[in-house]
Structure formats: structure tokens, C-alpha cells
Amino acid sequence: MKSRFYFLLIAIGSVVFLASCNKNNPEDVAYEWLTDFNQMEFEDAMKLSTNDTKNLLYSLEQLTGIVSDSERNELKNITVTIKNVKADSTTAVVTYVSSDNPNVQTVNLVKRDNKWLVLFTKVDLVGTIPSEYDEIDKAYAPADTEDSTDSGTQEED
């Protein structure tokens, strides 16, 4: 009788333990990814990223190779606090603040093959381009806006 009780106790404990280890939810994935990203642990962040995000992180990893060990150690002090999670069955938006930036920020996640992954783009990295730069873009836009792949001939006046 005691052996059945112990077996049942171990089985229940295992189920509870495994359930508590399940970090396949938007909040936990975002927290882990943001922590890895802020601490420049790009290889770890890649494990929780979409393919496009992995490519961006790989580029960042190459660019940050010159960061000293002491600077990397300072980054380990950055903490992330999740403020809100809005999710449906395939997408999620997580709002957060970090100890090095008190502004509320967001990170997007998508569910692929039943696993939550971070979808982080260049726009997320640098933010949106301020509207005053739109005028600069227009000033440097080419005068001829036809598609350069157009093989047709144009009539001359």
C-alpha cells in the first residue's frame, strides 16, 4: 500500500514539476528573449526567435564582437519587467520596461509549430523613422519613378 502511495505522490509531483517548467507561453518566452537580448546573449536569444529574427541577431552578434568583457558584465545587471501580454492563438504583443530604459516598449511573438517565437525586426531595433525624415527622403528620391525593370520603350516628345 505504501509503495502505491509513493508512486502516486511521485507521479503527481512529476506532473506539477513538468507543468511548472513549461515556458512555452508568450510572457515567459518574451522575458527570456529580452533578457538574453539585453545581455547580448544572442545565441540563446536565437533559440526563441523566428528565422528572420535569427538573421538579424546574427548580424548584431557580428557587430557587437568588439564589446569588452567588462561592458558585457555590466549588461547582466539589466532587468526586464513584463507589464502586459495580449495574445490570441497565433500572435502576441508583450509590453515591458527594462532597468536601462523606463519607457514602455513592446515585443511581438508568433506561434510556429506550436511554439512561441519572438518576431523582432530592424524597425523594432531602431524604432520608426521620424516624419521630418520623410522630407529628406522625398528630396533625394529619383525624378523618374518608373519601374527600372520595365523593358518597354518610351516615346520621346
Domain spanning 21-139: CATH 3.10.450.50: yes
Helices and strands, number each (H, E), in the chain: 7, 4
- Please state the domain extents for the chain: 21-139
Reported as a single tens digit per residue, the pLDDT across 58-67 is: 999 999 888 8
Place 1 in a pLDDT band, splitting at 50, 70 and 90.
low
Q: Checking DSSP bridges between strand 101-112 and strand 91-98, what pairing results, if any?
A: antiparallel
**Alpha carbon of 78 to those of 34, 40, 61, 83: distances in Å?**
10, 11, 18, 16
d(C-alpha 31, C-alpha 82), whole Å: 7
Q: Under the phi-then-psi rule, with left for phi > 0, alpha for psi from -120 to 50, and beta for the rest, what region is 40?
A: left
Q: What's the rounded mean pLDDT across residues 87-93?
A: 96
Got the DSSP string for 108-134?
A: EEEEETTEEEEE--HHHHH-PPPTHHH
Q: What's the rounded mean pLDDT across residues 79-88?
A: 96
Q: What's the rounded mean pLDDT across residues 86-99?
A: 96
Residue 1 in grid coordinates? 500500500
Reported as a single tens digit per residue, the pLDDT across 103-149 is: 999 999 999 999 999 999 988 888 755 555 555 445 544 444 343 33
Nearest to 107 by CA among 21, 12, 117: 117
Nearest to 33 by CA among 120, 92, 122: 120
d(C-alpha 58, C-alpha 6), whole Å: 49
d(C-alpha 135, C-alpha 141), whole Å: 10
pTM over 0.95: no
- With a cut of 50, say whether residue 79 has pLDDT above it: yes
Nearest to 59 by CA among 115, 127, 121, 129: 121
* pLDDT above 90: percentage of residues in the chain: 52
pLDDT at residue 119, rounded to an integer: 96
